[in-house]
């Protein structure tokens, strides 16, 4: 299937590894030009080099810390210069906080993670939206988590902040829908990424088992009987970023292997 993404310009946050890199790879495979954004310039360049091996000149680097507002906006300017035009597809993808509950946390923890996980998304989106609305076409994709629907007791901060992104995105979709801009939020479950490896290690330390045993136990709750592949996530994101998905907006898209128990 041709997703009609040839020549489209995308900004992918967290593009150096995991879900972000998988989305970038899927977009490049469809002919899009992608700017990769994260803090680590060296890892970004390595990811861009790998993508350009398959499609020369398709990937560029715009490094920035999501919590640094000024640097973030400068990175978007740099990305648009390198790509030769305004951003048409934005993947908002932030790192997740370590496991925790929600009671008794230092307010500074909430503040710091809100800055990097939520405000950064608002800032980036507000930066690229005017050009999308003027052009009459744009795609905003947000990576959240299945815990938006079914909170995890071990991921209190993530549950809370990801849910705020989902509510914001639904509101925004209604505002920009008439302008040809869609806004959707992806809810990954257990996809085989470095983030899941870290969570498995944390579970193992907490429960006194090996990381392999912790992972095997978690897989029992997934009806398809395995972790998801990053490429599967990337494929869904690429479709939602395409003109073919113009009638999909304001939606929560589950990619969890059936693990969410609610309808």
What is the pLDDT at residue 205? 84
Q: Which CATH class is domain 9-189+235-253?
A: alpha beta
The pTM (predicted TM-score) of the whole model is 0.94
143-198 pLDDT tens trace: 999 999 999 998 999 999 999 999 999 999 999 999 999 999 999 999 998 888 88
How confident is the model at residue 207, as a pLDDT?
A: 84
Paired tokens of 222? 């997934």
Give mean pLDDT, residues 17-44: 96
Backbone angles phi, psi at 175, to 5 degrees: -75, -40
- Residues 204-250 have pLDDT tens digits of 888 888 988 888 888 999 999 999 999 999 999 999 999 999 999 99
Digit-coded pLDDT (tens) for 36-88 = 999 999 999 999 999 999 767 899 999 999 989 899 999 999 999 999 999 99
Cα 126 to Cα 129: distance, rounded to the nearest angstrom: 5
Q: Give the model's confidence band at 114: pLDDT under 50 very low, under 70 low, under 90 confident, else very high.
A: very high
Predicted pLDDT of residue 160:
97
Domain boundaries, the chain: 9-189+235-253, 193-227
Report yes or no: 148 and 163 within 8 Å, Cβ to Cβ.
yes
How far is the C-alpha of 115 from the C-alpha of 243, rounded, in Å? 32
CA distance 222 to 187: 15
- pLDDT for residue 257: 97
Of the candidates 109, 108, 242, 246, the residue with the CA atom closest to the CA atom of residue 177: 246
Strand 181-188 vs strand 9-13: parallel, antiparallel, or unpaired?
Answer: unpaired
Looking at residue 57, its pLDDT comes to 80
Provide the pLDDT confidence category of residue 202 given band limits of 50, 70 and 90: confident
In this prediction, residue 11 carries a pLDDT of 98
- For residues 148 and 160, give the distance between their C-alpha atoms in angstroms, rounded to a whole number: 8
pLDDT tens-digit readout, 78-113? 999 999 999 999 999 998 888 889 999 999 999 999
Cα 102 versus chain centre, distance: 23
pLDDT at position 29 over 80 = yes
């Amino acid at each position: 299937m041709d997703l009609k993404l040839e020549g489209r310009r995308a900004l992918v946050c967290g593009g150096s590894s995991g879900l972000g890199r998988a989305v970038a790879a899927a977009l490049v495979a469809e002919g899009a030009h992608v700017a990769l954004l994260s803090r680590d310039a060296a890892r970004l360049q390595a990811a861009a080099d790998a993508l350009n091996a398959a499609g020369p000149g398709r990937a560029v680097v715009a490094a920035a810390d999501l919590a640094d507002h000024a640097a973030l906006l400068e990175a978007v300017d740099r990305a648009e210069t390198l790509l030769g035009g305004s951003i048409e597809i934005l993947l908002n993808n932030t790192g997740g906080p370590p496991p925790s509950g929600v009671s008794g946390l230092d307010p500074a923890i909430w503040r710091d993670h809100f800055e990097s996980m939520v405000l950064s998304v608002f800032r980036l989106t507000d930066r690229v939206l005017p050009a999308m609305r003027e052009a009459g076409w744009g795609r905003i994709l947000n990576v959240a988590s299945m815990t938006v629907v079914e909170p995890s007791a071990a991921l209190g901060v993530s549950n809370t902040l990801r849910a705020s992104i989902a509510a914001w995105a639904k509101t925004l979709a209604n505002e920009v829908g008439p302008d040809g801009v869609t806004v959707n939020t992806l809810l990954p479950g257990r996809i085989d990424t470095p983030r899941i490896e870290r969570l498995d290690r944390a579970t193992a330390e907490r429960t006194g088992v090996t990381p392999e045993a912790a992972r095997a136990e978690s897989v029992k709750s997934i009806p398809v009987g395995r972790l998801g592949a990053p490429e599967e996530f990337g494929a869904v994101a690429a479709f939602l970023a395409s003109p073919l998905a113009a009638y999909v907006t304001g939606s929560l898209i589950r990619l969890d292997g059936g693990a969410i128990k609610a309808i």
